Structure 1
Amino acid sequence: MAKSVNQATQAKAKADAVGQARALAPEVPARIGSTPATKFRGNPEIFGRLVEDHDKHRALLAMIEATAPNDPARKALFEEFVRDVHGHAAAEEQALWSTVMRNPETTEFARHAVGDHHKLDKLMADAAARDITSPGWLTHFATLKDEYLEHILEEETEQFLEAEKVLSEADQRYMRKVFERRKKAEKAAAVIEKKIALKPVA
């Protein structure tokens, strides 16, 4: 079981994650509002580290939505979001879900999370293939934003809780180390694919 984290630690962890996003474009507001309650925010092990990235991604999504079509910050923020999510998802699969999937009690939760990653890949490629300076681009981006926020809500309120039941604290500490190493490598190697989805991504 993850150790409980006090509110001040949780608030600092969230502010630090948002700060990572804001550093890319300090002039763009990062209004993410309230976030789903989770006991993992600020936790030093794997689930806390994943929530840290989620909060950074929430901020990036809010900032992208706040940009004007011709604002160069929009492209920079979107590209950071795509590369960071690619690195995060690949490292999460390697560090966490590959192990959790082997346990019959949690196989379905792991499969669902990995399936969501593939769906998000298609939505990111679709948004990347469209004219980011077009007034209508945010319409396509909104689908990606909604799907991503739904995905991380499920992870934080359901899938992580189930995965935690089959992992020791030592497992979780080790997984964080694996995640940190793999995310750095996967993000560095990430390629922004561009492919229009000819039909709605299911």
Structure 2
Amino acid sequence: MTARADATAKTANPKAAQKTATTETRAKQAAIAEARSVAPDLAARIGSTPATTFRGNPDIFGRLVEDHDRHRALFAMVQDTDAKSPQREALFEELVKEIQSHAAAEEQALWSTVLRNPETTEDARHAVHEHKQIDEMVADLAARDPATAAWMTRFGELKEKYLHHIREEEQEQFVAAEEHLSASDISHMKSVFNRRKKAEKAEAVIEEKIRLKH
């Protein structure tokens, strides 16, 4: 069932809506719990998240949102650390490896196919372009002292950029892509994503490069 059809079914059936809401809540909580395993003594105050029909779905888009919620939690946890806390560096490293391996696997599993359809080419280009921008911001942060206030200011800018990026994906780009993909495409993409995400994260190297222009 597509996300659009699922939303229609929920509207027509209150019990289905309640069940789906529970599934979405559990999916979000599980993603947060996985992020907190890096630093169990820290909270992950991500608050409310933008509405999406994909959270908790067992397809590629639900899998991507699962990662997004984990990333939201890691961003919140980094901001909750003290300047000289060793947890800050550990959480930042985990966040960087997560978002970079996620982006690479997402491009290989989803956007490489979406790019070939003229009706969705622009969405794919936009998503990949923003991945590059985020990589540059990450490399800049990695090259700077995380114990400074200036670092945290730049980290806040990265967070704002990333949250904007994933909100667009969840609410616009995934919706458009789903309409032009077959059920077999969507099913295959999830297995590709999981395989590539694991490989990309295992091989991840954090680049350090100061941005001369902002």
Structure with larger Rg: 2
2:20 is aligned to 6
In structure 1, give the amino acid aligned to 2:36: R
1:84 is aligned to 98
The 5-angstrom pairing of residues 41-190 of structure 1 reads 41-190=55-204
Distance 2:55 2:183 in 1: 16
1:136, distance to aligned residue in structure 2 (A): 2.5
Distance 2:138 2:150 in 1: 16
TM superposition score normalised by structure 2 = 0.92
130-139 or 147-156, which moves further after superposition?
130-139
In structure 2, give the amino acid aligned to 1:14: K
In structure 2, give the amino acid aligned to 1:100: V
Q: Deviations over 1:99-126 (max 9, x none)?
A: 0000000000000000000000000001
1:133, distance to aligned residue in structure 2 (A): 1.4
Indicate the SS of the match to 2:149: coil
- Number of corresponding residues: 200
43-52 or 135-144, which moves further after superposition?
135-144
Indicate the SS of the match to 1:70: coil
In structure 2, give the amino acid aligned to 1:131: D
1:135, distance to aligned residue in structure 2 (A): 2.9
Distance 1:149 1:11 in 2: 19
In structure 2, give the amino acid aligned to 1:121: D
In structure 2, give the amino acid aligned to 1:104: P
Distance 1:191 1:132 in 2: 18
List runs of 5+ in structure 2 lacking aligned partners. 7-18
Q: Deviations over 1:118-164 (max 9, x none)?
A: 00000000111110112321011111110000000000011000000
In structure 2, give the amino acid aligned to 1:107: T
Q: Deviations over 1:62-83 (max 9, x none)?
A: 0000101111110000000000
Larger RCO of the pair (alpha carbons < 8 Å, separation 6+) = 1
Q: Between the two proteins, what is the percent identity of the paired residues?
A: 60
Indicate the SS of the match to 1:6: helix
Q: Deviations over 1:18-52 (max 9, x none)?
A: 00101110111100000011010001010000000
